[in-house]
């Protein structure tokens, strides 16, 4: 009885339930660079009380599908790229503001020491237009520019990745 009635309730409920999001699950390397371009990352999804409408793979790995791939030396690089691409629009906003949790998390992933954090925030803000040079900048390009700019910086050159 309860089930049938609940069914009625939900059947008549507002739309917006069938939107799908192709979650990043497998093959991060490919997905990072596709479909995540531009500042406002395209998104449309509905995730419910533990019931999804997506055919997401059951992700158990960290940045891979099944947790079987060996953790390689560039795991932290993968993590950084995944993070930047997944949080691209918030990150862009925080870099322009020179403040915010997304920017702090980026600093954490780049292993910026506490005493250099203030300089890093100011750096991101000051170089914003050099990091986002055109409308279709991807997270990967932005990270590349960041690396090149950091290399030239007197205080922060220790934080380049290459």
Per-residue contact track with other proteins, 96 to 135, x per CB under 8 A?
xxxx-xxxxx-xxx-------xx--xx--xx-xx--x-xx
- Regarding 159 and contact with other proteins (CB under 8 A), the answer is no
Going by the DSSP 8-state scheme, the letter that residue 26 receives in this structure is S
What is the dihedral angle through the alpha carbons of 56, 59, 66, 74, rounded to the nearest 10 degrees?
110
Tell me the closest approach of the beta carbon of residue 157 to other proteins, in angstroms: 20
CA–CA distance, 130 with 94 (Å, rounded to integer): 15
Cβ atoms within 10 Å, residue 140: 15
Residues 34-63 that bind other proteins (CB under 8 A): 38-40, 42-56, 58-63
Cβ atoms within 10 Å, residue 119: 14
Tell me the closest approach of the beta carbon of residue 5 to other proteins, in angstroms: 5
- Regarding 73 and contact with other proteins (CB under 8 A), the answer is no
- Regarding 71 and contact with other proteins (CB under 8 A), the answer is yes
CA–CA distance, 110 with 91 (Å, rounded to integer): 14
- Regarding 143 and contact with other proteins (CB under 8 A), the answer is no
> Whose Cβ is closer to other proteins: residue 30's or residue 48's?
48
């Amino acid at each position: 009885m309860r089930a049938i009635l609940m069914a009625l309730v939900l059947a008549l409920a507002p739309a917006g339930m069938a939107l799908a999001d192709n979650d990043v699950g497998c093959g991060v390397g490919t997905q990072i660079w596709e479909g995540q371009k531009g500042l406002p990352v395209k998104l449309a999804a509905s995730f419910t009380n533990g019931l999804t409408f997506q055919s997401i793979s059951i992700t158990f790995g960290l940045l891979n599908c099944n947790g079987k791939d060996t953790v390689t030396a560039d795991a932290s690089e993968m993590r950084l790229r995944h993070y930047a691409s997944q949080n691209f629009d918030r990150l862009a906003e925080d870099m322009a503001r020179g403040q915010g949790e997304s920017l702090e998390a980026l600093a954490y992933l780049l292993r910026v020491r506490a005493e250099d954090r203030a300089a890093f925030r100011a750096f991101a803000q000051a170089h914003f237009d050099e990091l986002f040079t055109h409308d279709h900048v991807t997270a990967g390009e932005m990270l590349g520019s960041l690396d090149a700019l950091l290399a030239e910086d007197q205080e922060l050159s220790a934080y380049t990745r290459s």
